[in-house]
Amino acid sequence: MDLALLRTFVTVHRAGSFTRAAALLGLSQPAVTSQIRTLERQLGRPLFLRQARGVTPTSIGDELAHKAAPHLDALVEIAESGLEEDSSLRTLHLAGPPEFTAERALPVLTELTGEDGRSIALRASFGTAEEALEGLAAGHHDLAICTARPRGALLTATALCDEEHVLVAAPRWAERIGSGGLRRTGPSALERVPVVEVHESLPFVARYWASVFDSRPVAPGTVVVPDLRAVLACAAAGAGLAVLPRYLCGDALGRGDVVALHEPTVPPLRTYFLVVRTGTLAMPHIARAHERLERAAADWS
């Protein structure tokens, strides 16, 4: 059986779409369709059911993928290991949210750019979880860090770490509210405090209010800036309250630039996932980056 046909088949099985598989393989969609039909003729059984959106594997297709995929991934690993010995530089394409990627992931991964004989070039893209996953699925990225777990067989996600969210403001706002304000009146004590956020929909504040206060925030965003580091700077300058990851505002809390307005018994958490296209961990430069991030994340939570 032609290994090229099996490779195309496994890619379609993981992608759930001839169109997406064609993009990942660098082939035209008709070429992918032709290869799958050839394989189906050789086996004498249909491997996929064509649907309006993508394809669904038949039971025979699932069985073949289960048997063939591990061996194809092993062959890729052998081939990539050989390439790595002959090439001094491979490029790793990473996508993720700007703050987490800049503050946590990139300092860890830049260590890989200087390893003797095993160096990589690093390219980073910032964006939303949806943008990162779409780019990863399309083959534009090798790794994606996001707060959404993807569905389907094309992408494989590993829980990386949890981040704790903290309600903060400049000290003068805490003084106005008073030490017992939140304990006595709950979130109503915050209704007149301006809000600093990354989007008009108040994603961080709304999530905190729902989790901690079982309510919705009343005050609209007074300052909206699309970067949590800018949110922190504005909050420290006295622009209003903000909800920030503890890893990002921990130093500012220690210096007293901002103070925690509330310390709930169970703080809100958000999970980050490290996502790859299924099978690509057979590539050594992706595997090393994945392993390095997992090891570093053990100290992040």
- pLDDT category at 221 given cuts 50, 70, 90 is confident
**Residue 293, in any domain of the structure:** no
User: pLDDT-based confidence at 271, cuts 50/70/90?
Assistant: very high
Integer Cα distance of 278 and 144 in angstroms: 12
Q: What is the pLDDT of residue 26?
A: 82
Is 221 among the domain residues?
Answer: yes
Residue 99 has pLDDT above 60, yes or no: yes
Number of domains making up the chain: 2
- The whole-angstrom separation of Cα 104 and Cα 296 is 9
- Rounded Cα distance between 132 and 145, Å, is 8
Counting Cβ atoms within 10 Å, is residue 149 exposed (0-12), middle (13-18) or buried (19+)? middle
Per mean pLDDT, which range of 39-43, 88-92, 112-116 is the poorest?
A: 112-116
202: CATH: 3.40.190.10
Question: Rounded to whole angstroms, how far apart are CA atoms 130 and 19?
Answer: 19
Give the dihedral sign, CA 178/182/185/191.
positive
Q: Evaluate whether 53 touches 83 at the Cβ level (below 8 Å).
A: no
Kindly indicate the confidence band of residue 243, based on its pLDDT and cuts at 50, 70 and 90: very high
Is position 107 within any domain? no
Given 80, 98, 116, which residue is the final one in a domain? 80
Q: Is 278 inside any structural domain?
A: no
Model confidence over 152-166: pLDDT tens digits?
888 999 999 999 999
Domain extent for 222: 161-268
End residue of a domain, out of 48, 80, 112: 80
Q: Provide the pLDDT for residue 282.
A: 84
92 part of a folded domain: no
The model's confidence at residue 117, banded by pLDDT at 50, 70 and 90, is very low
Do 166 and 260 lie in a common domain?
yes
The answer on pLDDT for 118 being more than 80 is: no
Residues 171 and 264 reside in one and the same domain: yes
Least Cα distance to 149 among 11, 21, 274 occurs for: 274
- Tens of pLDDT along 190-201? 888 999 999 999
Query: Per residue in 171-212, pLDDT tens?
Result: 999 888 875 556 655 688 888 899 999 999 999 999 999 999
Q: Can you give the CATH number for the domain in which 18 is found?
A: 1.10.10.10
- Would 5 be classed as within a structural domain? yes
Cα–Cα distance measured from residue 192 to residue 262, given in angstroms and rounded to the nearest whole number: 16
Confirm whether 209 is domain-assigned.
Answer: yes
**Are 169 and 234 within 8 A, CB to CB?**
no
What pLDDT is attached to residue 114? 73
Q: What percent of the chain has pLDDT over 70?
A: 91
Which of 80, 96, 118 delimits the end of a domain? 80
- Within-domain flag for 281: no
